Chains A and B, each alone.
Chain A
Amino acid sequence: MLDSALILELAIMFIKVFVVGSVLFALPIPLTWLERKVAGHIQVRLGPFRVGPHGVLQPLADMIKMLLKEDIVPEKADKWLFRLAPIMTLVPTFTVFVAIPFGDKVRIPFTGREVALYISDMNVAVLYILAISGLGIYGIIFGGWASNSKYALLGGLRSAAQMISYEVAMSFAVIGVVMLSNSLSLVEIVKSQSGGFLHWNFFYLPVGPLWFIIFIIAGFAETNRIPFDMPEDEGSLGAGYHVEYSGMRFAYYMLAEYVAMVTVSVLAVIFFFGGWNPPFNLPFHLTGETAMFVNGGWNAEFLNLLAAVIPLFWFAGKVAVFIYSFMWIRFTLPRYRYDQLMRIGWRVLIPLSMVNILVTGFMRI
């Protein structure tokens, strides 16, 4: 049963998981720096500047600080759950990326072997992502409850209510995308949007932009980012669900928040902005076949690889735009009040998305 092909397959899988995992673990480091820089410049400050050139090493300094801090567990807390909760937020946010495609298949030079730039192409990937990303909320709820503190508990409750309300709108938006692309597989969704930006779901007028707006508002609410960061509302709850956390456990929550932000950006790009597809058709097609046809020989292999890697940059670029807008919006908008949050969710987004489903359905017949 364990023949060499299977072992190779497993090895490739492990490498992919390792790469994705380590990138995700490392990503919050530049992102915290970027967020503080963006915050600084929007408030006509400089942001971190002292550790390393332009403060780029600041996150590392912060990390050392976090590691050295005392790990406080409140005396009256439910100790076991208190310790478990941060990990419970972290695991689902990472698990989501199993289903996310970063690019199409790539042929490795000289081996003729095709490696897909995603860990797995499930035929229910969309549902999987919705399901798993919904699990991240448990860490927040349990953390809030286990801290045995009023503020933390209120933060946890708020996030539970918020999540239930916005999960509905989010699912509707995703159903809309599925209707537009006729598939539950993310790879298929991206492929259905190829061929110039007019084919992107966002430009499927008039429903595309509306779906996008619903999706992104729900996404902001699900990731607990401003303007919907009610669970950690500093103004009224101190720090909300993580008020009792310190040191590394607190850092886990931060890590999860950043990864969740990346997830929503990635999903927005995949669902509405064509994933790794370039926004316009290149005048020449840099695919493996044409390159092979043009000059043959060994450098065709590299051209081939190049052709497969360029979409990765498109993907990363689009995601970066979204991550920037997350930060940009964070420092533009104030926080909503809790009842306003609920009103937007139930009275605006959900009816709007129901109407939109009808319209989309008629348009797709």
Chain B
Amino acid sequence: MSAGKYMEKKRECGIRDIFRRTFFIDFIKGLMVTLRYNLSKSVTVRYPDTEKWVPFPRYRGVHTLNRDEKGRELCVACELCARACPTKCITVVPMEDDTGRGIADRVAKVWKVDLVRCLFCGYCEDACPTFALRLGKDYERACTDVSCALLDREELLGPAEVPWSFDGGVVVGARFERGKGGIKVAADLSDEKSPWFERQ
């Protein structure tokens, strides 16, 4: 009954209201809205078939270890990232090396991260004094066994699919590939498309 009272207050009984009710004006308005959407272009990003979203630079994807312009490793194995990590999923074992592999004479012998436990909070990235560690743009980490979630130095140092020079925040063309090693969505960075929020 309280609902009825509430409705009493809102109800108008003017000619316009009666007209609106008899001819289902509100219903037709609603139908027109859906019809308009039905005819408008869809905003779906056709991932993984032909399109792929490349995230913004501040996106926190899979870790990358970086080098300076001379190609030396930036990581000084200070273990700050391992300390900062709330889930303790980074392991760093330092060693001495003055052959110029790193920017200092201390480099990482072992640097590995267990992505199963990682929660992509980015604390490790913040803790890194040399900007060696950055969370990258890669987000395709689905696989059929755990081993692919354990990444070590070599893999992290390798060239990323999307280089840091590419700003991101766009949808690019892509190709869906089914290979021996599983499935892959190869992005074509030169083929830039409009992002979904501009598609309507």
Contacts and interface: CB of A to CB of B under 8 A. Distances in A.
Direct chain A–B contact by Cβ atoms under 8 Å: yes
Interface of A: 38, 40-46, 49-50, 328-329, 331-333
Contacts of B34: 42, 328, 331-332
Contacts of A329: 31
Interface in B60-91: none
A328 B46 contact: no
Nearest to B35: A328
17 contacts: A38-B38, A41-B37, A41-B39, A42-B37, A44-B40, A44-B44, A44-B200, A45-B43, A45-B44, A46-B42, A46-B44, A49-B46, A328-B34, A328-B38, A329-B31, A332-B30, A333-B30
B42 A41 contact: yes
Contacts, number: 38
A41 B38 contact: yes
B49 interface: yes
A45 B31 contact: no
A40 B42 contact: yes
Interface of B: 27, 30-31, 33-35, 37-44, 46, 49, 200
A122 to B, nearest CB: 35
B47 to A, nearest CB: 11
A46 B49 CA distance: 13
A83 to B, nearest CB: 38
Contact of A46 (B27, B33, B40, B46): B46
A102 B192 CA distance: 52
Contacts of A43: 37
Contacts of B30: 332-333
Contacts of A42: 34, 37-38
Nearest to A41: B38
- The interface centre, meaning the residue of B35, B44, B200 with most chain A CB atoms within 10 A of its CB, is B44
A44 B31 contact: no
A44 B38 CA distance: 7
